[in-house]
Structure 1
Amino acid sequence: MPVYGPLSYSLASNILASKALTRWFTPFANWYANLAGYRKYGLKYDDLLIEERDDVQRAITRLTPRETYDRNFRFKRASQASVLHAPLPKEQWVKPEEDVRYLLPHVIEVVKEDTERQMWDTVAVGRK
């Protein structure tokens, strides 16, 4: 099953392994994330994942109650800011160090479970 979008294959681990590449790419990555504008509305990167995907929906159900509350609060706050046609005040923006991937580990776990289930469902059983 190919994965597209924010869950697709990434070169981030290779870049983070090299200090020179990390030093070169970090300002560009921060510039791009600020240009995207989701932090101005109080959202984190994983809030942008497409919820219509089955694996993302199942991963959302695995969040702790606190993470679920925080996620819903960010959506309500961003929705209100969108209705007012203005981003949040600068002190309420999500800082780069706060923008962590909280949902990705759950999505990866769900994908691994689906892959394992598919493998076991298609195994050929034969007599010796």
Structure 2
Amino acid sequence: MGKMILSFNASPIVPDAMSWQPAVGLSRLDHDEVLMGEIIALLETALRDRVLDVNMRAHSNDFNSLRQLTHSQLPSLKILGFDQQAKVFEAFESAVVMSDELACKRLTPMVQKIWMSTIESLTQHQRTVAP
């Protein structure tokens, strides 16, 4: 049985078009603004602390390690409403698991861009809700 190859000839989602609707995350947390603030702070810290790791793994094509980094952030992304971003991380994870090197190489820049844009979105949100 041959290995299954994922088809990523074109980007499934354009990262620039991805947005975050904090209201979606808030509704998933039963409108608990305190809890949402805590999750945002934790996710932002986790993403910032791992930026260098993500970039190093991406540049060295260490897809398995990069998959571990993205996988660990999926629950928080989904809870907070970063659904499109989570789908790209999941597509990357599938490509790694299936050993589809071409798909991994095509998705890696998207993963990096999403990582940074998520940090920016969280930071901007915290500035708008800060007392």
TM-score by length of 1: 0.36
Tell which has more relative contact order, 1 or 2 (C-alpha 8 A, sep 6+).
2
More helix by share: 2
TM-score by length of 2: 0.36
Larger Rg: 1
